[in-house]
């Protein structure tokens, strides 16, 4: 009786029993809302961890972790200058697991910036942006920008010195953009300075506008992976295919376990920083932007127009146009294809330069932005 | 029919989106006033530079009179530090400025602005950050 009800309940939800036969394994992928993001059969090539490094998947999992932990933090966080910092202290000291959730949110956010960047490097170095995947590369670039925007808007919310001055520097860079820069900054801040209006705007962007945009573009990104013929692979070769259930689904779950373990470990071992409450009268020395913008801050030292406008705009435009400029069809589906030696060399050089200036800005810059050795 | 429907759709969308776009431009700012008193002349010792932290500016008292220089670095908006006789230094990106506010070393491209000052009827020094003045400006008080 109970068994029968349980069985009917299961079937009403999933339509098929636990997938054991080839028939039910195919049906499971087709009939499940969540699983039908995948095809029923996948190329073995796409499953090789050394090909994808699982970076896109990890980015998505980190986004899920950020959504869940972010929702929990929203129950305590108050986006007003009088209360924001106090609610951070509450999360640290007066909420059970509050610090843990904040740590997890912080480290997952930093991790996501890094992993999305690495995912982009993987896609470039395997030539996976070439036809028919040009547009999905563009969507990916937008997702990278959204990730940075989410991280940046979240950075202000703790309302501590770190947050306040990082956003001071960041929004001042915005104002350097020709013609519309100052107006965009005014809109972003809802005024001339970083106050209550700015905090509320950053909060709404961080908790609602940008995550919704992210969710939409992630869905589009995944859908296009399917529509563009699955993950990129060397053309012309006969590809062996295996059933997505269990080969793909269980590998994905394994990656999820790894991500969760790492996030738990990081959140338990390392506390997210919280400095003194934001004080517009006292600039810390040195005042640093979030680490992923420290490359920008380092460049801005050599000239705000050059570092804050020319270089980032040039990089983003180059990334967006890349698949339409590079029409050479060969070298797809393998790492460091010999046909792509020049393209890969240029990309690696630029990526290393980005990493290098970021490292310099993070570790080698001390008071008054003078050179210091980190040891 | 199609034309009427399209017109209605476009007009409806434009109305909503236009209202949304306009509404995010604030009409009223709940910010500190941009013209404010900073204290009485006697609060500033002769031949001194005082950092008025809550207003992010320096008030100089010289034998020729008072003047105010912004403490907000023209590069990216950090507060500059002042050392008497040595000028200003920004902690964010290392810009330095001469004692009179001119750029000594970049990345800042513009000098620290000087603000108009006046004496209120109550005898207080009043700074107006909406009005910048030249290097020769002095307020006798």
Give the Å distances, CA to CA, from A117 to A49, A70, A114, A167, A292.
18, 22, 5, 22, 10
A243 has pLDDT over 90 = yes
Residue closest to B39 by CA, chosen among B129, B137, B117, B134: B117
Q: Looking at chain B, how many residues does it have? A: 141
Global pTM value: 0.90
Give tens-digit pLDDT for B47-100: 888 888 888 888 888 888 888 999 888 888 888 888 887 889 888 778 889 888
Supply the pLDDT for residue A297: 82
Q: CB-based contacts of B75: which residues, under 8 Å, 6+ apart?
A: A172, A300, A304, B90, B92, B93, B95, B106, B107, B108, B109
- Mapping DSSP to helix (H, G, I), strand (E, B) and coil, where does residue B24 land? coil
CA-CA distance, A227 to A230, in Å (whole number)? 7
- Chain B residues in contact with chain A using a Cβ-Cβ cutoff of 8 Å: 24-26, 29-31, 53-54, 56, 75-79, 81, 89-94, 106-107, 109
Give tens-digit pLDDT for A27-55: 999 988 889 899 999 999 999 999 999 99
Give tens-digit pLDDT for A191-225: 888 999 999 999 999 999 999 999 999 999 999 99
Question: Which of A166, A186, A188, A287 is best to mutate for the B interface (most B CBs within 10 A)?
Answer: A287
Task: State mean pLDDT over A335-341.
Answer: 90
Structural contact between residues B55 and B36, judged by C-beta atoms closer than 8 angstroms: yes
Give tens-digit pLDDT for A133-145: 999 999 999 999 9
Pairwise pLDDT comparison (B70 vs A305), residue with the higher score = B70
Our CA-based measurement puts residue B137 at a distance from the nearest CA of chain A, in whole angstroms, of 25
Burial label, A88 (beta-carbon count in 10 A; 0-12, 13-18, 19+):
buried
Q: CB-based contacts of B74: which residues, under 8 Å, 6+ apart?
A: B95, B108, B109, B110, B111, B112, B113
Give tens-digit pLDDT for A143-183: 999 999 999 999 999 999 989 988 988 888 788 777 788 88
Give tens-digit pLDDT for B103-135: 988 788 888 999 999 888 888 889 898 888 888
Instruction: Kindly provide the ipTM of the predicted complex, given to two decimals.
Output: 0.81
- Mapping DSSP to helix (H, G, I), strand (E, B) and coil, where does residue A340 land? helix
Structural contact between residues A137 and A300, judged by C-beta atoms closer than 8 angstroms: no
A285 has pLDDT over 80 = no
In chain A, whose CA is at the least distance from the CA of B53? A281
């Amino acid at each position: 009786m109970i068994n029968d009800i349980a069985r009917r309940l299961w079937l009403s939800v999933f339509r098929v029993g636990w997938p054991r036969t080839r028939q039910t394994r195919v049906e499971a992928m087709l009939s499940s809302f969540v699983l039908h993001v995948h095809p029923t059969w996948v190329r073995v090539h796409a499953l090789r961890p050394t090909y994808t490094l699982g970076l896109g998947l990890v980015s998505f999992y980190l986004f899920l972790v950020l959504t869940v932990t972010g929702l929990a933090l929203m129950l305590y966080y108050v986006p007003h200058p009088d209360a924001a910092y106090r609610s951070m202290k509450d999360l640290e000291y007066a909420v059970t697991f509050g610090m843990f959730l904040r740590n997890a949110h912080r480290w997952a956010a930093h991790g996501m910036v890094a992993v999305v960047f690495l995912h982009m490097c993987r896609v470039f170095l395997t030539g996976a942006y070439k036809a028919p995947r040009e547009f999905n590369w563009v969507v990916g670039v937008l997702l990278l920008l959204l990730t940075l925007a989410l991280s940046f808007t979240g950075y202000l919310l703790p309302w501590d010195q770190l947050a306040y001055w990082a956003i001071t520097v960041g929004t001042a860079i915005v104002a350097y953009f020709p013609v519309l820069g100052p107006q965009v900054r005014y809109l972003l801040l809802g005024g001339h300075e970083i106050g209550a209006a700015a905090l509320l705007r950053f909060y709404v962007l961080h908790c609602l506008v940008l995550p919704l945009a992210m969710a939409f573009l992630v869905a589009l990104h995944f859908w296009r992976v399917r529509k563009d013929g699955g993950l990129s692979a060397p053309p012309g070769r006969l590809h062996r295919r295996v059933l997505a259930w269990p080969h793909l689904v269980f590998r994905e779950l394994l990656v999820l376990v790894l991500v969760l373990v790492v996030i738990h470990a990081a959140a338990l071992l390392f506390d997210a920083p919280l400095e003194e409450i934001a004080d517009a009268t006292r600039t810390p020395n040195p005042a640093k932007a979030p680490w992923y913008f420290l490359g920008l801050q380092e460049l801005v030292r050599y000239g705000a127009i050059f570092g804050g406008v020319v270089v980032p705009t040039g990089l983003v435009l180059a990334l967006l146009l890349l698949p339409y400029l590079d029409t050479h069809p060969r070298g797809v589906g393998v790492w460091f294809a010999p046909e792509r030696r020049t393209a890969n060399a240029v990309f690696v050089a630029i990526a290393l330069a980005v990493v290098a200036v970021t490292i310099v800005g993070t570790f080698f810059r001390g008071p008054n932005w003078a050179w210091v050795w980190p040891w | 029919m199609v034309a009427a429907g399209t017109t209605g759709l476009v007009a409806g969308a434009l109305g909503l989106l236009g209202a949304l776009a306009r509404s995010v431009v604030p009409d009223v700012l709940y910010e500190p006033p941009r013209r404010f008193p900073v204290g009485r002349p006697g609060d500033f010792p002769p031949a001194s530079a005082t950092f008025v932290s809550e207003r992010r500016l320096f008030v100089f008292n010289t034998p020729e009179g008072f003047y105010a220089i912004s403490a907000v670095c023209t590069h990216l908006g950090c507060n500059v530090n002042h050392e008497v006789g040595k000028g200003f230094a920004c902690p964010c990106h290392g810009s330095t400025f001469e004692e009179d506010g001119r750029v000594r070393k970049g990345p800042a491209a513009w000098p620290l602005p000087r603000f108009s000052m006046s004496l209120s009827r109550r005898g207080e020094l009043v700074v107006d950050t909406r009005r910048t003045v030249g290097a020769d400006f002095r307020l006798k008080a």
